[in-house]
Structure formats: structure tokens, C-alpha cells
Amino acid sequence: MIEFVIGRAGAGKSRAALLNIANRIKENPMGAPILLLLPEHMTYKAERELLNLTGGGFFRAEVYGFRRFARSVLLKTGGLNLPRISEVGRNLILKNILRKNGEKLFFFAKAAKKKGFSKILSDAIKEIKTYRLSADDLKDAASVMKDENLAAKLTDLSILTAEFHNAMESRCNDSEDVLAELIMRLSDAEFLRGIEVWVDGFIFFNPQEKEILRSLMKYAAAIHITLPMDSNLTSPENTREIGLFNRAFATMKEIQKIAKEEGKEIVIT
């Protein structure tokens, strides 16, 4: 069952999620695991609030951001065999790649020589990985692009993304690699079978996160997702492209589509 808990900001969705989890813990402290997924910066506060609501420690629930959840699962399934690269190390690798491949570049030929470009490139590669695109995908897109500048940009990004992948492969990984590994390894995580999942604090999910939610649907007894929107689903604030809650409304539609593909019952409260 996939439940969407909707309501405007301040309606008490997050509080309701924590109260529900706390009550489940009090009723049966050793019951099936409960997972609360939040944006990384919200996890500490939520964990503290859950401790207060339960009146002490708890074993049944775990509070994670997607990346920490990935690392927790991979530690148990044997998928964390490579060291994680730091931002400094990442930028050093990219600077070396830019130095060695400068002559191959067209669109970024001048920018590659400028201070700070490795950081811009690092952010671009992170986004490329987040959207589950490969160097070949970029190359293919460039080949059909009519805009010459955009085609050149995609070609350069394809070259640099491929070089970065080769430099990292079998040596180390980054946060985006960890999420990709989680997607592949979730089928090995038998300890997640029957888990109850709460997802709070998000307006949208990137492609990696959506694929993780899809995988969790296969094993979870229930997934509850809070989203900020008008409780009247047909409200223009939800449905209009410029509506205040349109982003969250579109997110609900995307997750509903995934849930239907997985044959899950959908409930909106």
C-alpha cells in the first residue's frame, strides 16, 4: 500500500508521521522495522523528536537521508568495497582530466583553463549521475542535436564524464555511485522485507531516489509519503503549472505511476 499524506505547509504532516511512528514503537518495540527517510539536513532534528515522543531509545525505527540509508544497506549487503572520495580528491581528479584532455575539447576549451572550472564540472557530473545518464547517452544526444553549440557542449561533457568514470572505476566512489549501487543491491536486502517506510520533507525526487522508492515498493508492507499541497486535488494551486503546489502535485502523479506499475494500492489522506 502506498499512502500519500497531503496538506498545506503547517498542516501537521511531519508531526503526524512522527506520532504514528512513535505510537507503533510504543505498541510493539520489537515489531517490523520502520524507516523514516528525510532530506539529510532534517534527520538529526527528527531523530531527537522521535526520542522525545517515545520517551527514550528505540530499536525498531531508523531515521536516514537517502545517502545514509544507502550506506547502511550496502554495509549489510557487502556493497561498500571502495573508499569514498572527498570533494578535494574529486576536484584534483577533474583538474588532472582537464589538463590531459584540453586539446580534445571545443565548447569548454577556454573554460577548462580557468580557475574554479573543476568545481563547476564536478557539479555537472553529479547531476548527470543523479539523472542516471552515461557518457554514451550524452554522446548520442549530441549526435542528433541541431544546435551546434549545445551539441559541442554535450560532446565535451561526454568526453569528460567518460574520463571521470574511468579514473574512478574500481578505485573509489562518490555519493551518486552509492545510490546507484543501492538500486542494484536492494534485491539482496532481505532484512527490508515487510518494512514500513515513511518519506517526509520532500517536494520532488530525483531519478535515483524515485528508483529507490520503486525498489522499496517491492519489499515494504507500506510506504507513506507526505507532500505539501491543497487537500482539494483539483485546486488550481495543485494543477496549474504556476500553482503554488504544482511541483509536489506532479511528484505525486509520478510516484502514483510507479506504484501502479508495481501493482500497489494507492491511498490519499
- Biggest distance spanned by C-alpha atoms of the chain: 66
DSSP code of 193? T
**Residue 78 confidence (pLDDT) above 90:** no
The answer to whether 262 and 218 have CB atoms below 8 angstroms apart is yes
pLDDT band at 173 (very low <50, low <70, confident <90, very high): confident
pLDDT digits (tens, 9 = 90+) for 101-150: 988 999 999 998 888 899 999 999 999 998 989 999 999 999 999 999 99
- Give the pLDDT score at 87: 87
**Residue 80 confidence (pLDDT) above 80:** no
Q: In terms of Cα–Cα distance, which of 171, 247, 181 is closest to 208?
A: 181
pLDDT band at 70 (very low <50, low <70, confident <90, very high): very high
DSSP code of 60? S
**Residue 95 confidence (pLDDT) above 80:** yes
Could you please report the per-residue DSSP string of 118-157?
HHHHHHHHHHHHHTT--HHHHHHHHHT-SSHHHHHHHHHH
- Give the pLDDT score at 25: 92
- Give the pLDDT score at 24: 92
From CA 70, how far away is CA 47, in angstroms rounded? 18
pLDDT band at 175 (very low <50, low <70, confident <90, very high): confident
Q: What is the mean pLDDT of residues 60-79?
A: 90
pLDDT band at 203 (very low <50, low <70, confident <90, very high): very high
Ranges in the chain annotated CATH 3.40.50.300: 2-79+187-268
From CA 169, how far away is CA 177, in angstroms rounded? 10
Residues forming beta bridges with residue 228, ordered by sequence position: 7
Instruction: For residue 154, give the amino acid letter.
Output: L
- Name the superfamily (CATH) of residues 2-79+187-268: P-loop containing nucleotide triphosphate hydrolases (3.40.50.300)
**Residue 79 confidence (pLDDT) above 80:** no
Q: What is the mean pLDDT of residues 219-243?
A: 95
- Give the pLDDT score at 81: 73
Sign of CA dihedral 123, 211, 3, 43: negative
Q: What percent of the chain has pLDDT over 70?
A: 99
- Supply angle C-alpha 231, 234, 238, rounded to 5: 70
Question: With 0-12 CB in 10 A as exposed, 13-18 as middle and 19+ as buried, what is 11?
Answer: middle
pLDDT digits (tens, 9 = 90+) for 7-28: 998 899 999 999 999 999 999 9
